């Protein structure tokens, strides 16, 4: 089946540092999404990207849809304690009427105060 390669798997940073994570795929996606999951909760959508090359920001978060449509990255600037959690990328496959998403394996972010 389709897979997304998300890296890094884990990050341990100091509060205030910037964070960068990315996803790559062997398949072309027509939509890329980034989710954040807090412990014991369902993932929450952070940013959605709809066009190749698109760069979108949401507060301190910035994400880009790769020009090849096979990759995406997420940056978090000036991290704060509430940024702790697991971040997932997801790609929507073209022509899928049920809008099935393929998820990366997640990046676990830990912040040292």
Residues lying near another protein in the complex (CB under 8 A) are found at 31, 33, 39-45, 48, 50, 86, 88, 90, 92, 97-101, 103, 105-106, 108
* Residue number, 76 or 101, with CB nearest to another protein: 101
Residues 50/72, Cβ–Cβ less than 8 Å = no
Q: Closer to another protein by CB, 67 or 100: give it.
A: 100
- Of 32 and 73, nearer to another protein (C-beta) is 32
Both tokens assigned to 97 = 């009427």
66 vs 106, beta carbon nearer another protein: 106
As to burial, measured by CB atoms within 10 angstroms (0-12 exposed, 13-18 middle, 19+ buried), residue 110 is exposed
Give the shortest CB-8-to-another protein separation in angstroms. Answer: 13
DSSP symbol at 53: T
Contact 26, 70 (CB under 8 A): yes
We find the least distance from the C-beta atom of residue 78 to another protein, in angstroms, to be 25
| Residue 84 φ/ψ, nearest 5 degrees | -60, 135
């Amino acid at each position: 089946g389709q897979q997304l390669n998300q890296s890094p798997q884990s990050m341990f940073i100091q509060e205030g540092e910037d964070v960068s994570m990315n996803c790559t795929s062997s398949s072309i996606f027509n939509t890329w999404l980034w989710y954040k999951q807090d412990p014991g909760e369902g993932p929450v959508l952070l940013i959605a990207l709809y066009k190749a090359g698109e760069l979108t920001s949401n507060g301190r978060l910035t994400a880009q849809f790769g020009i090849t449509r096979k990759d995406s990255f997420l940056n978090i600037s000036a991290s704060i304690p509430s940024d702790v959690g697991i971040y997932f990328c997801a790609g929507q496959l073209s022509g899928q009427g049920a809008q099935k998403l393929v998820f990366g394996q997640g990046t676990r972010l830990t912040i040292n105060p």
